[in-house]
Amino acid sequence: MSETLTSARVALVGNPNSGKTALFNALTGSRQKVANYAGVTVERKEGMITSAAGRNLYVLDLPGTYSLRARSPDEAVTRDAVLGRLEGETPPDVVICVADATNLRLVLRLAMELKQVGRPMVLALNMYDIAQRQGLRIDLEGLSREIGAPIVTTVATRKRGIEDLVAQVDALAAAGQLVGENTWREPNAAEIRQAHAEAQRLVRTYVRPPEHPDTWTGKIDKVLLHPVGGLAILLGLLFVMFQAVFTWATPAMDGIEAIFGALGQFVGAYVSNDLLRSLISDGIIAGVGSVLVFLPQILVLFFFIILLEDLGYMARAAFLMDRIMGGAGLHGRAFIPLLSSFACAIPGIMSTRVIDSKEDRLTTILVAPLMTCSARIPVYTLIIGAFIPNERVWGFASLQGLVMFGLYASGILSALAISFVIRRVFWRGTVEPFLMELPTYKMPEPKSVLRNLWIRAKIFLNRAGRIILPMMILIWVLSTFPYPPEGATQPAIDYSFAGMIGHAIQPLLAPIGFNWQMSIALVPGMAAREVAVAALGTVYAIGDAENNVGALGTALANHWSLATGLSFLAWYVFAPQCAPTLGVVKRETNSWRWPVIMFVYMVALAYTASFIVYHTAVALGGG
């Protein structure tokens, strides 16, 4: 049967931090496809290489794990793919077990588990250059004989050993070695101990400890994990990150806005049919543009996240934050998703997959939209500019800046409070154990950082196309039809479905000080928060409101009381004014239950907050 194997399936399995993804990149280069596994939202990364013998090898990069005994959805995919149980996946012909050559003990235990599965295996000792530099000696022949698998040494980041690895995989595929019996089953405590003892014996016998062990990691950690200094550095890093998100991204964002504006006009000039023109330029182009404009910020944020992750810092950040977030019932690993949510809740919610337990993950998803995403900024800027005097307080601080800070702080504090409540209402009991390897610090590879950034961008664009575009068209329909009657005196949107919905919900919103114009603006504002600015411009008949914030601000200051303005701000801190987020929550949780719960609790919170703010402000004379 062997000669008939013109292609083979190869699975990459390894511990987290073993450089598995770098090896995958070195193997497959740019010929990669990123998708999702059927039914689960775990990223499926596959690439193809052609071996010297002309065989096509389809390489699957499986999520990192310490054991085939899966705990998170990610690890379950690894287990099922290796065992050939994953629906819609052909079981692998060859398994590559990727090991960090400087840290062999845990991966040898994983390798033993993989051997039990009975499929041909190659052990790739990655980061071999670091092992050599440290003076670590490994008896490759002896180790290979004991574990019963060929061993290849690789340096994925320098593409060393890759040809050798491909040749070994190819040889195994060519030998068509009959797949042995699968004797793997979940090990119990005694079996794990036994496997560890065996791994320990292998390490003692075949590995000579390093002559110059890495001492940098310990030295750096003395500073970065210092109970006080470490937290201060983390906060400093976050501050730099946010500065960068808002300053570096601005030119690119202006560029994207200009391009979409020009595109809209260009198309407008060539499409004679009014309705079609409006659909294309006001609905699709303007709509997609209003979401794409966040791409630069998302990329800047992810640039930092990927960099810190590759460096090995993210596990440290989780360590520093675990206790603080644990007080609110959040897992230390929720830190990264919540951080991403400051740019946009969508990538934040997508990155909750790193959290093992379902309950911890859902809690994080539910509170992620409370983090002040960048789409709120245009709304905040508009309202603050219109209602908060540009004064200095205490001699140095700007009052407007303080209000902005207060809005961010209310988002964070409410997220902590809500997760605290969720932990008591939906699922009692404690968060999952926090057990995390603190990897050795490594210099990030520029190429791999860029590649990961590109993958993030593609995922976001894909999402924008599939979820946001239909949503935009729906909202355009609601704000366009039916047409205003002849001789209409009000702006067209007033007569549309959006207008009707706005008028219908206005009595409900009257107690929090909203007039009908605001109620109408909330409907298109469901597409993305900042669309409300354009919508307010439409109802107050200010052309090109987004570029004419001054005029709109003046109009608002004339029409709204201070109490109404503050109430609107409070609304935007909490309200689920973002249909794409709800769509992503549905996708990630595979049920409508959680987006519905999210919508209801956020509306309730927004209403309560606005009510309190409005009536307090009225009582203090701001009505």
Could you say which DSSP state residue 60 is in?
E
Could you say which DSSP state residue 134 is in?
T
Decide whether 65 or 452 has the Cβ nearer to other proteins. 65
Query: Closest distance between other proteins and the C-beta of residue 8, in Å?
Result: 30
316 in Cβ contact with 224 (< 8 Å):
yes
The residue whose two tokens read 């699957």 is 60
Decide whether 102 or 168 has the Cβ nearer to other proteins. 102
Decide whether 440 or 561 has the Cβ nearer to other proteins. 440
Residues 6 or more apart whose CB falls under 8 angstroms from that of 576 comprise: 369, 582, 598, 599, 602, 603, 606
Over the Cα atoms of the chain, what is R_g?
28
Decide whether 209 or 251 has the Cβ nearer to other proteins. 209
Q: Amino acid letter at 221? A: D
Pairing of strands 151-153, 137-138: unpaired
Report the distance separating Cα 577 and Cα 380, nearest Å.
14
Decide whether 213 or 470 has the Cβ nearer to other proteins. 213
Decide whether 85 or 323 has the Cβ nearer to other proteins. 323
Query: Closest distance between other proteins and the C-beta of residue 354, in Å?
Result: 15
Residues that bind other proteins (CB under 8 A): 66-67, 69, 71, 102-103, 105-106, 109, 187-190, 192-194, 196-197, 200, 209, 213, 217-218, 221, 225, 227-228, 230-231, 315, 318-320, 322-324, 326, 332, 357, 359-360, 429-439
Decide whether 215 or 489 has the Cβ nearer to other proteins. 215
Q: Name the β-bridge partners of 35.
A: 44
Which CA distances in Å does 46 have to 32, 414, 499? 6, 40, 48
Query: Closest distance between other proteins and the C-beta of residue 221, in Å?
Result: 7
Query: Closest distance between other proteins and the C-beta of residue 314, in Å?
Result: 12
Decide whether 65 or 589 has the Cβ nearer to other proteins. 65
106 in Cβ contact with 98 (< 8 Å):
no
Decide whether 360 or 494 has the Cβ nearer to other proteins. 360
Query: Closest distance between other proteins and the C-beta of residue 520, in Å?
Result: 46
Residues 6 or more apart whose CB falls under 8 angstroms from that of 44 comprise: 34, 35, 36, 37, 60, 77
Query: Closest distance between other proteins and the C-beta of residue 334, in Å?
Result: 14
Decide whether 229 or 623 has the Cβ nearer to other proteins. 229
- Residue of 397, 396, 404, 355 whose CA lies nearest to 379: 404
Angle at 241 between CA 240 and CA 243, to 5 degrees: 65
Decide whether 103 or 157 has the Cβ nearer to other proteins. 103
Could you say which DSSP state residue 182 is in?
-
Query: Closest distance between other proteins and the C-beta of residue 19, in Å?
Result: 15
Q: What is the Cβ-side half-sphere exposure of residue 342, based on CA atoms within 13 angstroms?
A: 20
Say how many residues make up the chain.
623
Query: Closest distance between other proteins and the C-beta of residue 72, in Å?
Result: 12
Query: Closest distance between other proteins and the C-beta of residue 143, in Å?
Result: 16
Query: Closest distance between other proteins and the C-beta of residue 408, in Å?
Result: 23
Report the distance separating Cα 584 and Cα 351, nearest Å.
11
Decide whether 185 or 323 has the Cβ nearer to other proteins. 323
Could you say which DSSP state residue 369 is in?
G
356 in Cβ contact with 266 (< 8 Å):
no
Query: Closest distance between other proteins and the C-beta of residue 34, in Å?
Result: 29
Query: Closest distance between other proteins and the C-beta of residue 298, in Å?
Result: 29
Report the distance separating Cα 384 and Cα 541, nearest Å.
20
**DSSP code string of 578-613:** -HHHHHHHHHHHTSSHHHHHHHHHHHHHHHHHHHHH
Which CA distances in Å does 273 have to 233, 263, 281, 353, 470? 58, 17, 12, 46, 21
- Residue of 420, 395, 367 whose CA lies nearest to 581: 367
